[in-house]
């Protein structure tokens, strides 16, 4: 194919092909499934066997597992179906990401830099070999954001329809998509190229359309036997214990926190400050989570660009991106201060919005140094920068966990058809084929769980610190016969026992 023909290709389509190839590469060299995967796969099995109602009873927001199950009807295994879905959603995400940036600047340089950015974003692409509902959520959210930005500029109703449909797609994966659907339209009020009355009218039209579609969708689901409000309340009930603890803290827990923070003596006099210290600590957690989610390479490049004023955007143009960023930040703050924990996945929407700055920053750096003494240095630096990001995205330097599969195979050989297996590891539960509800394991196995197990039960324990202490308790130690340890007996990470009288 000639270079002229290549230039006629849409950069987004080339990126989609590259994304699919990279997903295949990541999955081909994947070790073992992530823990969340087993919940989705088990729910998909339940859907295939017992239908939608049973799937929702097992896992409240079951849209993603049901999609996996439907794809498996093509003759694929459930895990293969999940990987295929995620590859497709990563491709959609890449397409939407480039489309957002092309909407802001329709130059080939920005498009190519956007493609490099999304394919070489380490904190995003490390999820390519995982089974996660978040990937579908990110993809549909970015698709919705792109169409909303087009709607803001054109005010054509068809684009707002696409926006709402894409957000409904995002809701299949995560319930908080509802918050984004409500928040994003407010960006219309920041559009200075239209008068306030026009912005208000377009907002009301869009809000009315969203409410109409929401009411229709609710009635359709209700007719199918699915009460959307009940599902949302069921999700919120998960956070009830956290809220009770937040507004009615247990004195024993407060005392323990004071002792841990201030020491045994000072803790007696400092309990009134525990809440303030925890709040400050959670703020640090939030900042560090955002830093790690954006990633070191992108963060320091963006910091340099902001200091040197390489990034200049029209406020009205980026208002939708700002709306998504602030909405994600709001969700992160509420979640963190409610549950007191946070993972990078929840903050990745913020990271993706920050990543939209990277192509413009790099383009500005290239322009400012064109023909100057730093031009060659800048070229070499950018090549090394993206090369490092690609390596960080797709090459794992962690130790292989294939020993878990060996351990699961050993458990399967040791267990008879009627032998019970007690384990604190999802991989052992699934691949040993001895645990029906392999997604519902007890991570913190107690001594009583082992003592209550029937003689002959295989006990496979992942030997983190608490489990190492547990098996040394006299009552537990005398009731277990050590069979094998993995990857080796010198530093075991998995110990397999048989319950004895």
Sheet holding 458-462, edge to edge: 421-423, 458-462, 494-499, 480-486
Crossing angle between the packed helical segments 196-223 and 157-171, to the nearest 10 degrees: 40
Residue 287: Cβ within 10 Å count: 10
**Contact, 361 vs 305, CB < 8 A?**
yes
Q: In terms of C-beta distances under 8 Å and separation of at least 24 residues, what long-range contacts does 487-495 make, across chains too?
A: 487/403, 487/406, 492/463, 493/403, 493/462, 493/463, 494/403, 494/404, 494/407, 494/425, 494/428, 494/460, 494/461, 494/462, 494/463, 495/460, 495/461, 495/463, 495/471
State the burial class of residue 82 (Cβ atoms within 10 Å of its Cβ: 0-12, 13-18, 19+).
Answer: buried
In percent, the amount of the chain with pLDDT more than 90 equals 64
Is residue 181 helix, strand or coil? helix
pLDDT in tens, 363-383: 999 988 888 788 889 899 999
Q: In this structure, what token pair is assigned to residue 304?
A: 């340099």
> Angle CA(349)–CA(307)–CA(301) in degrees, nearest 5?
50
State the burial class of residue 164 (Cβ atoms within 10 Å of its Cβ: 0-12, 13-18, 19+).
Answer: buried
Q: In this structure, what token pair is assigned to residue 400?
A: 């292989």
pLDDT in tens, 156-196: 999 999 999 999 999 999 999 999 999 999 999 988 888 88
**Which string of b and e fits 232-271 if b means at least 16 CB within 10 Å?**
eeeeeeeeeeeeeeeeeeeeeebeebbbebbeeeebeebb
Q: Give the Cα separation of 258 and 157 in Å (integer).
A: 57
| Domain residue ranges in the chain | 403-499
**Contact, 90 vs 139, CB < 8 A?**
yes
- What mean pLDDT is predicted for residues 43-64? 94
Per-chain mean pLDDT for the chain: 89
Q: Give the Cα separation of 450 and 455 in Å (integer).
A: 10
Q: Is the pLDDT of residue 4 over 50?
A: no
Q: Is the pLDDT of residue 434 over 80?
A: yes
Per-residue pLDDT, 270: 60
Per-residue pLDDT, 19: 97
Q: Give the Cα separation of 211 and 197 in Å (integer).
A: 21
DSSP letter for 400, please: P
Q: What is the pTM of this model?
A: 0.90
Crossing angle between the packed helical segments 78-104 and 35-50, to the nearest 10 degrees: 110
């Amino acid at each position: 194919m000639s270079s002229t023909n290549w230039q006629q290709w849409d950069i987004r389509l080339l990126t989609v092909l590259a994304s699919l190839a990279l997903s295949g590469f990541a999955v081909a060299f994947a070790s073992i499934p992530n823990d969340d995967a087993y919940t989705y796969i088990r729910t998909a099995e339940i859907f295939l066997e017992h239908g939608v109602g049973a799937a929702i009873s097992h896992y409240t927001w079951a849209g993603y597992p049901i999609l996996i199950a439907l794809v498996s009807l093509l003759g694929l295994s459930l895990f293969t179906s999940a990987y295929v879905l995620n590859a497709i959603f990563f491709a959609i995400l890449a397409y939407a990401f480039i489309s957002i940036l092309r909407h802001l600047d329709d130059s080939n340089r920005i498009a190519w830099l956007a493609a490099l950015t999304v394919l070489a974003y380490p904190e995003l692409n490390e999820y390519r070999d995982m089974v996660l509902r978040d990937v579908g959520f990110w993809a549909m959210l970015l698709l919705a954001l792109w169409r909303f930005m087009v709607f803001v500029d054109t005010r054509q109703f068809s684009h707002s329809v696409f926006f709402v449909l894409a957000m409904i797609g995002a809701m299949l994966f995560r319930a908080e998509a509802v918050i984004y659907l409500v928040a994003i339209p407010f960006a219309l009020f920041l559009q200075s190229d239209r008068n306030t009355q026009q912005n208000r009218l377009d907002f009301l039209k869009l809000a009315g359309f969203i409410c109409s579609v929401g009411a229709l969708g609710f009635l359709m689901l209700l007719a199918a036997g699915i009460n959307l409000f009940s599902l949302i309340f069921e999700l919120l009930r998960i956070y009830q214990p956290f809220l009770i603890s937040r507004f009615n803290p247990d004195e024993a827990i407060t005392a323990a926190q004071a002792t841990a923070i201030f020491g045994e003596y000072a803790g007696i006099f400092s309990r009134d400050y525990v809440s303030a210290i925890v709040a400050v600590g959670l703020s640090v957690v939030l900042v560090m989570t955002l830093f790690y989610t954006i990633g070191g390479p992108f963060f320091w490049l963006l910091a340099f660009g902001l200091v040197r004023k390489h990034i200049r955007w029209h406020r009205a143009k980026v208002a939708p991106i700002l709306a998504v960023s602030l909405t994600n930040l709001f969700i992160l703050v509420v979640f963190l201060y409610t549950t007191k924990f946070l993972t990078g996945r929840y903050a990745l929407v913020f990271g993706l919005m920050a990543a939209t700055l990277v192509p413009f920053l790099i383009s500005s750096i290239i322009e400012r140094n064109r023909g100057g003494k730093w031009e060659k240095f800048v070229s070499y630096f950018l090549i090394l920068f993206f090369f490092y990001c690609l390596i960080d995205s797709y090459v794992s330097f962690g130790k292989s966990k294939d020993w878990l599969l060996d351990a699961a195979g050993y458990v399967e050989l040791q267990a008879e058809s009627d032998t019970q297996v007690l384990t604190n590891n999802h991989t052992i539960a699934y691949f040993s084929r001895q645990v029906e509800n392999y997604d519902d394991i007890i991570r913190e196995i107690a001594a009583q769980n082992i003592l209550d197990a029937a003689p002959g039960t295989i006990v496979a324990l992942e030997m983190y610190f608490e489990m190492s202490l547990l098996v040394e308790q006299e009552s537990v130690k005398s009731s277990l016969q050590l069979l094998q340890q993995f990857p080796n007996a010198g530093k075991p990470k998995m110990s397999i026992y048989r319950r004895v009288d």
